[in-house]
Each structure stands twice: as structure tokens, then as C-alpha cells.
Chain A
Amino acid sequence: GQNIDQPTEMTATEGAIVQINCTYQTSGFNGLFWYQQHAGEAPTFLSYNVLDGLEEKGRFSSFLSRSKGYSYLLLKELQMKDSASYLCAAMDSNYQLIWGAGTKLIIKP
């Protein structure tokens, strides 16, 4: 079956770096998305990877290894506003999005 796994919760310190991992199993693959979502709000798009490697976008970077079915989101210079849930979603061959349950990131001062 199709599945996405990511940690339920992580805690990090303001100013530090945190890496949120995601592993996926899908029928075919058309890319992997990361979204940020604050409580009670719609998710906001962070990144999309379809080729292997690291994509850097400001303080956020996303990595993909298709052979390993693995991705991570790297957040640098953490700020309190980064406290949110981070959703990993893989798109299968039918362009269906398979969503992870989200990783709740708690930033401590």
C-alpha cells in the first residue's frame, strides 16, 4: 500500500537547526511536497522535489532521495514563528497526494 511516515513531534531551540524526515512508499512517484501549517490555518506550500538532491530556499531546504524513498526538510536559524506542523506529501503516478500525518515542531526560546 501507499504510506508516508514522519515523526509526530519534534522540539528544537530558537536559532538552532532542525531536520524533519519523511519516508514514503507510493505507486509511482510524481514529486514530494512539504507544507507548513499553523494551528487552525490552511497549509502553506514550502517546497517541491521531484529530482534527487537538495533544494535550498532561504532558511528552508528540502532533500530528496528517490531510490531510498526518503526526504527531509531542513530548517535553519529557527524562529519562534516556525512553530507549526510540517506536512510531507508524495504524489503517486495518478497524481494523487498521499499525505503524512504531519510533524508538530515546537520551538523553545
Chain B
Amino acid sequence: GAVVSQHPSWVICKSGTSVKIECRSLDFQATTMFWYRQFPKQSLMLMATSNEGSKATYEQGVEKDKFLINHASLTLSTLTVTSAHPEDSSFYICSARDPGDGSPLHFGNGTRLTVT
């Protein structure tokens, strides 16, 4: 079945640095990928919708200049957390839809970001 690979699984960085998270669809082309954020014991919150070849659509309250999304190819979307702060520490998860099989979104396993 379709697989979405997300890398890295976890990352620790210092405050003020930037972190890039990759989301890859391994066996299908994904014109649309979704990025979510989840705090411990809370629900998944949609951050933005990443569209191949165009600008991402951000949800209300999500800073587009802080969370840079690039969807340069049909199999790769990246989320860059710029100038990270401790409050950005969270669990980030991507998902992608395979338009060819009509199935639900396929999810990556997520990235645990800790900013010290």
C-alpha cells in the first residue's frame, strides 16, 4: 500500500535555529500534502495544505513566515520551522493523498521536535 515517509522522527535543536522536516510519498504522486501539529494529549491540528508547484494554504493562526512549506515535486514536501523557540516544541505530522486509489490520507509517523 501507499506509504508516506517522514524524516526525521525526532530532532532536538537550540532556540533560534531552523529545522527542516521532510515528507515523502514513496509509491505514489501526491499533489496535495497536509501538515499537522499535535501537542501531547491533544488533537491533531491542521497547519497547512501543501500544493505541488504552488504556495501552501495556511490555517488561521499559523505563521507562514515561521513555518515555511515547500512542495517542489510530486513526492516531496518540506516544512521548515524557522528561528525555533521552545514553544514550537511539538509533534509534527504530514499526510498525503493518493489521488489514484480514492483512499483516505496516508500519514507519516511524525516528527518530535524539541527546542531547547
Partners in one complex: yes
A95 CA to B112 CA in the complex, in Å?
Answer: 7
Contact at A42–B93, with CB atoms within 8 Å?
Answer: no
Which candidate, A52-60, A75-83, A97-105, is the interface stretch facing chain B? A97-105
A62 vs chain B, min Cβ distance (A): 13
The reply to whether A39 and B102 form a contact with Cβ atoms under 8 Å apart is: yes
Task: Spot the interface stretch: B16-24, B35-43, B60-68, B77-85.
Answer: B35-43
A45 lies within 8 A of B43 (CB): yes
A39 touching B91 by the CB < 8 A rule?
A: no
Evaluate contact between A97 and B109: CB separation under 8 angstroms: yes
CB of B44 closer than 8 Å to a CB of A: yes
Proximity string of chain A (69-100) to chain B, C-beta cutoff 8 Å, 1 when within and 0 when not: 00000000000000001010000001111110
Contact A39-B104, Cβ < 8 Å, known A94-B112, A96-B109, A96-B112: yes
Number of interface residues of B (CB under 8 A): 25
Provide the B86-115 mask, 1 if CB < 8 A to any CB of A, else 0.
000001010101000011110101101000
Provide the bound-state CA to CA distance between A72 and B31, in Å.
33
> Is the interface on chain A under 10, 10 to 19, 20 to 34, or 35 or more residues?
20 to 34
Tell me which of A31, A33, A94, A97 has the highest count of chain B C-beta atoms within 10 A of its own C-beta: A97
- The reply to whether A95 and B40 contact each other, CB–CB distance below 8 Å, is yes
Q: Chain A: which residue is nearest B99 at the CB level?
A: A40
Across the interface, which residues of A come within 8 angstroms of B9, CB to CB?
96
Contact of B110 among A40, A48, A97 (CB under 8 A): A97
Question: Which residues on B sit within 8 Å (CB–CB) of A30?
Answer: 40-41
CA distance A79 to B109 in the complex (A): 32
Are A42 and B43 closer than 8 Å at their CB atoms?
no
Return the contact of B107 from the options A94, A95, A99 (Cβ within 8 A): A99
Identify the closest chain A residue to B43 (Cβ).
A45
Q: In the complex, are the beta carbons of B41 and A97 less than 8 A apart? A: no
How distant is the Cα of A51 from the Cα of B78 in the complex, in angstroms? Answer: 35
